[in-house]
Amino acid sequence: MVPISHYLILSAILFTIGCVGVLLRKNTIVVFMCIELMLNAVNLAFVAFSKLKGNLDGQIAVFFVMVVAAAEAAVGLAIIISVFRSVRSVETSDSSEMRL
């Protein structure tokens, strides 16, 4: 049996990697992937605490977080494609000076 501390340490490491990726990377697609990594780290913590308490509340919360993440990915990729068509780049620094 794996103790909950292992799950929480892994969750913290994944969240930290995602946070560093969001702060340091310039490619918009990689930034969205790092945001997804952060959401999955939180999901892992939710499931670990759900297992600890012995109920399904954390797993239900994970379901809703995954639904929101899927919607965020769909809308985010649509925005990235739209910006790419006008700017011809997916770098965050290139799209910061957009004009109408």
pLDDT of residue 38: 97
Q: What is the DSSP string of 46-99?
A: HHHHHHHHTSSHHHHHHHHHHHHHHHHHHHHHHHHHHHHHHHS--BTTTGGG--
CA distance 100 to 87: 11
pLDDT of residue 86: 86
Fold of the domain spanning 4-89 = Helix Hairpins (1.10.287)
pLDDT of residue 97: 67
Sorted by where each begins, the domain ranges of the chain are 4-89
Instruction: Name the stretches of the chain with pLDDT < 50.
Output: none
pLDDT of residue 19: 98
